[in-house]
Copies of this chain bind each other. A is one copy, B any other.
């Protein structure tokens, strides 16, 4: 009784919203309309934005896009439908019959019976101009409008598809997904490139520190994943990470996404590298098979020649060299480096680029870095005199360093010594605890998600593969 009354009133209440335009036609996305097998005049309704318009004597051709695919749906209408409101960028609803197209350019087209303009587009003020191919740099000025272009539409669909593929990759392999925290009181690892978090001055909270302790934006979920890897043997996280780096480079952002995984009972880098290579390839294959047109657009207009480069990466096994060997290669190189390669020094971007090229533009793992270069948690190889840790980076074409990983120091006493040497023993008591209660050999890695997209699409600037880029001097919207 109650329910009936409630529902009755609800229907009345909802009808205070504008009258639904629903007719008897079934609503279809452009993607579904294009893929429809039923082209014998099925009555449908399609909604979207006008991407092109061409008026002939008796016929009007529109192309309607709704973001469900790169391809637009061709609408064929009697010229009596023509009006000034039917313009590039306007939103419309078209009802009509889905029929086989006589043209070879598309299988299906929509024979319009009714066209309704929903929202006009002020063409003069609209920064995206009809039939122009705007450079990515130009579009960056309009973060609220650039998604309405073909190229950003394609990049964002690929990003969405890659996100889904990464979640599936880990789920299919039995990994447990963990939301590692964004706000953290760990301040040591990033060493000076951290964002601090405090209640805005507008809040009524008087405490100096909302959290009682200084709080920062995370630079990595690794340590928190390690907590979880004491209970779950396979965990992953996929979330935002932050660096207050004063950089305007083509491969750095202040806010970017990382895919991180941690695996228990892993005892050698080989097993970790296998997961990294599988993740790289499985995600790319999934993107290629689910949005071939979007990838093709990028390879055709943004990065000519990149299609072959990607195929080459996917077809071949990734290479593996040690850091020590990498230094040997660089030293022997007939190349003038700005930074002279030397055992014990970090690899610079120019070195990474050289190594990838030297390896035939195939992704290459570099393993076993000097202990002195790496953080306290990486596993000591106990070698010498060139003392290394079980670390691994993956270098790839276009972006250089894409993955970073390591075995973690699971041995209590060795970890204790390393922490003591860095004066971190007290702050990391909880981390030491993980090694007191059923410690296991474990390791993991992180992959920069935007760099991954750059690498598979060939997009040169990282600001073009994230919806709303944040970097020094820029936080628009």
Contact = CB atoms under 8 A, between A and B. Distances in A.
B267 A21 contact: yes
A193 B320 CA distance: 50
Given A20-B268, A194-B203, 9 more contacts: A3-B319, A13-B325, A66-B264, A91-B440, A163-B167, A181-B470, A185-B475, A185-B477, A215-B470
Contacts of A180: 467-468
Given A14-B270, A120-B438, A179-B240, A201 B210 contact: no
Copies in the complex: 2
A89 interface: yes
Contacts of A120: 438
9 contacts: A157-B176, A180-B467, A183-B195, A183-B470, A192-B203, A194-B203, A215-B470, A223-B477, A224-B467
Q: Which of A31, A67, A185 has the most CB of B within 10 A?
A: A67
B13 A367 contact: yes
B6 A233 contact: no
Contacts of A171: 164
A288 interface: no
B156 A230 contact: no
A9 B194 contact: no
Interface residues of A, number: 152
A255 B182 contact: yes
Contacts of A201: 196
A75 to B, nearest CB: 16
A163 B214 CA distance: 30
A139 to B, nearest CB: 12
